Amino acid sequence: MSFTLHGIGVSPGIAIGVCRVASHTRIEVAHYVLSSQFVDKEIARFDDAIGSVRNEMESLRKQIPANAPAELSAFLDMHQMILNDSMLSEAPRQLIRSQQCNAEWALAQQMEHLLEQFDAIDDAYIRERKADVVQVVERVLKVLLGHPDNLPSTESNLADCILVAHDLSPADMIGFKHQRYSAFITDVGGATSHTAILARSLNIPSVMALHHAHELIRDNEIIIVDGEQGVVIVDPDDNELEEYQLRQEQWQLEHQKLRRLTSSRSATLDGLDIELHANIELPGDVDAAREAGATGIGLFRSEFLFMNRADLPGEDEQFEAYRDVAISMVGQPVVIRTLDVGADKPLGGLTELTLNPALGRRAIRLCLSEPAMFHTQLRAILRASHYGNVRIMIPMLSNLQELRLTRLAVERARASLQADGISFDPAVKLGGMIEVPAAALMAHAFAEQLDFLSIGTNDLIQYTLAIDRADDGVAYLYNPSHPAVVQLIAQVIRAGDKLGKPVSVCGEMAGDPRLTRLLLGLGLRRFSMQSASLLSVKQQILKSDLEKIGLLVQKILRTTDEEKLDSLYTRLNQ
């Protein structure tokens, strides 16, 4: 029976394909009863799986570099302790024997039992260890299920497959850079979550916040995903199929037309050049940036080099990644943001499960508290600066002390390279992200001490409007044109202009053509976005007259009345 689901369209385009339903956050297991002659064999299968995870953890331990933060080792200790505890390694064996159930079922039952016990504990720290138990159990389940990752990723031809998941982490999405599904849909998530940002970087349709899609849709069902409207049609009838096939063709045609703009100059109708840079997550993304005509990398989210692995990337590995990007961009600017983990980008062993991770020890706060790790990254970036126009950018500054300490860390990295006789660009520029309202309000002070500023509107909106960017429950409050957000952006651009320091926007606002004229009118001359959005934004710039826009945006800045604002925005985009 055909039915339609509505969510948030986070990456445009239309896909029609066969569903692959993933269970990731909690691995789904089969439940079956064994005949008595298979019980011993099943217990042996369970013991083998425990043994294999034990070996896996041992080999992980051997790979930890000497300069890795102590937490990484402590994290492994904790997981080994959980694995070796009889509550996990012994109790399921008894369940298999007494209930004659399969090993996965026994382990899942025991996990639920343990989690209930954790819930009853008053101590918040101990209660938080629940997540560690789940992670260890998932490792064993994956071995029992016979594949290392429970995402349905083994098919060679995924081109017509649409992934349906309850939730996908940014780390999952990074994995999909190598396996092309034709679309993604999830039950949860917000439009500026990192998962959504990565979906856009893959340039495939994606809808989030569908709430029950994962329960309602079955493997192998045909679905239509409209990533623009946020609509998913399950088991479509012939009319719906025909209509969406037509829309898909139209979409592809429009895309082809846009490609003609790749080499055209990015300038407004009145002739002002506007710089269009690309955001990347991995060195391989540079190809798409160059194909789209980006004239620089405005944001290299370096944290994605740290994901989907048990160890931290060492200095040489990071250096090679940064150097490759610098060389590929042949002299064009490459802004490497220092590690920005935490909140919706957790990193096992480094970030903690705190009550409110978006307000916790993330980004520059975390780097400053892990000096050895930070030193390694800064040395790697500085080394890469010898091969191109590399710049360093600090995420999530909220006070000047953080800037002072970062500068000291950069100085230390430079001194150590000099002592080692290793070349780097002595004039490498240092910039900061303005993404905390406190930093926006005192942008002049940051602009005085930095070479450039970049406004991270995703976090700036999250913190200004007090909405978790990854929580679909408050996604309706996400509003980039909220007067408070617009005022803050205007203030940062003004501060940069006054001091002659370049300001860019590298949050998702920069890649939304409906907001291009607003940003132009606020004085923005440098945009950085996912490569997939670059040509639509360029198209908008080419049709824009700065003088007209400027007047309207000045009015917008003086208006708070919603109806008047609506009509001003309509006029602005006409």
Q: List the catalytic residues.
A: 194, 506
Count Cα neighbours of 194 within 13 Å in the Cβ-side half-sphere: 20
- Minimum gap (Å) between residue 528 Cβ and ligand PEP: 8
User: Which of the 8 DSSP states describes residue 387?
Assistant: G
Indicate the residue among 456 and 521 with the shorter CB distance to ligand PEP: 456
User: Nearer Cβ to ligand PEP, position 49 or 447?
Assistant: 447
Q: What is the x/- site pattern for Mg ion, positions 380-419, by CB under 5 A? A: ----------------------------------------
Mark the segment that binds Mg ion (CB under 5 A) among 347-355, 421-429, 457-465, 553-561: 457-465
- Could you tell me the two tokens for 376? 């390694």
Q: Which stretch binds Mg ion (CB under 5 A): 91-99, 430-438, 482-490, 527-535?
A: 430-438
Single-letter amino acid code for the residue at 359 = L
Contact between 435 and Mg ion per CB under 5 A: yes
| Nearest-approach distance from CB 79 to ligand PEP, in angstroms | 28
Minimum CB separation from Mg ion for residue 39, in Å? 53
Among 397, 381, 401, which residue's Cα sits nearest to residue 389?
A: 381
Q: What is the 3-state secondary structure (H, E, C) of 262-294?
A: CCCCCECCCCCECEEEEEECCHHHHHHHHHCCC
471 binds, among ligand PEP, Mg ion, none (CB under 5 to 8 A by kind): none
Of 288, 294, 227, 299, nearest to 261 (Cα)? Answer: 294
- For Mg ion (CB under 5 A), the number of binding residues is 3
- CA–CA dist 47, 102 (Å, integer): 13
Which of 95, 280 has the CB closer to ligand PEP? 280
What does 83 interact with, of ligand PEP, Mg ion, none (CB < 5 to 8 A by kind)?
Answer: none
Site for ligand PEP, rule CB under 6 A: 197, 299, 301, 340, 435, 456-459, 506-507
- b vs e for 448-457, b when ≥16 Cβ sit within 10 Å of the residue's Cβ? eebbbbbbbb
For residue 357, report the phi and psi dihedrals to the nearest 5 degrees.
-60, -30
Contact pick of 187, 226, 281, 459 for Mg ion (by CB under 5 A): 459
* Shortest Å, Cβ 277 to ligand PEP: 12
Cβ-proximal residues to 156 (8 Å cutoff; 6+ apart), any chain: none
Nearer to ligand PEP, 19 or 443 (CB): 443
Calculate helix-pair angle for 70-84, 130-145, nearest 10 degrees.
Answer: 70
Reduce the DSSP state of residue 428 to 3 states and report it.
Answer: coil
Q: Which does 301 bind (CB under 5 to 8 A by kind): Mg ion, ligand PEP, none?
A: ligand PEP
- Strand 231-234 relative to strand 3-6: parallel, antiparallel, unpaired? antiparallel
Look at residue 506 and give the partner it binds from Mg ion, ligand PEP, none, a contact being a CB closer than 5 to 8 Å depending on partner kind: ligand PEP
Question: Which of Mg ion, ligand PEP, none has residue 325 at its interface (CB below 5 to 8 Å by kind)?
Answer: none
Residue 456 as a binder of Mg ion (CB under 5 A): the answer is: yes
Which ranges constitute the DSSP H helices of 8-128? 39-63, 70-84, 86-89, 91-99, 103-119, 124-128
CB 458 to Mg ion: min, Å: 5
Q: Which is nearer to ligand PEP, 163 or 299 (CB)?
A: 299
- What does 512 interact with, of Mg ion, ligand PEP, none (CB < 5 to 8 A by kind)? none
- Rounded alpha-carbon distances, angstroms, from residue 94 to 44, 65, 110, 143, 472: 12, 39, 10, 20, 42
Residues making contact with Mg ion (CB under 5 A): 435, 456, 459
